[in-house]
Amino acid sequence: MKKKNMLIFICFLALVGNGFWSIKASAQEHGCQIKAGRDNIHLYIRDFDRDGNPTRRIIFRGWLLRGQTIAIKSLSGRISVNFKADSAKRGSGNNELKCTASQTHTLP
């Protein structure tokens, strides 16, 4: 009788553990990295909802120093990146990027 209860308990743990791993894997689908290229960059990153509309959720706002990388997690897999380079020679931009599979997006 004890062996049967132990086997049921082990099967239960295996099912519960497998469920948690699949949730963790799906959360990683919408992660990416933003890297500053040759200049310091001021970033304003917002998330989109699943319908493609911008949300009020600000993922990151601040400075990203030259060569530095930050990790971003999006709820929908799409982000809006507004940036302004520190030097006057380099420009600014507004990009809509896909945030999937731990991609690295390099800004100028």
Q: What's the whole-model pTM score? A: 0.64
CB atoms within 10 A of CB 104: 10
pLDDT for the residue 23: 47
Amino acid identity of 24? Answer: K
> For the chain, which domains are there?
30-107 (2.60.40.1120)
pLDDT for the residue 107: 83
Beta bridge mates, 61 = 44
From first to last of the 108 residues of the chain, give the pLDDT tens digit: 566 666 676 766 666 555 555 444 444 468 888 898 888 899 999 988 878 787 888 888 999 999 999 998 888 888 888 888 887 666 677 777 888 777 888 887
CA-based Rg of the chain, rounded to a whole angstrom?
20
In a 10 Å sphere around its CB, with 0-12 CB exposed, 13-18 middle and 19+ buried, how is residue 87 labelled?
Answer: exposed
- Which long-range contacts link 6-14 to residues 24+ away (Cβ below 8 Å)? none
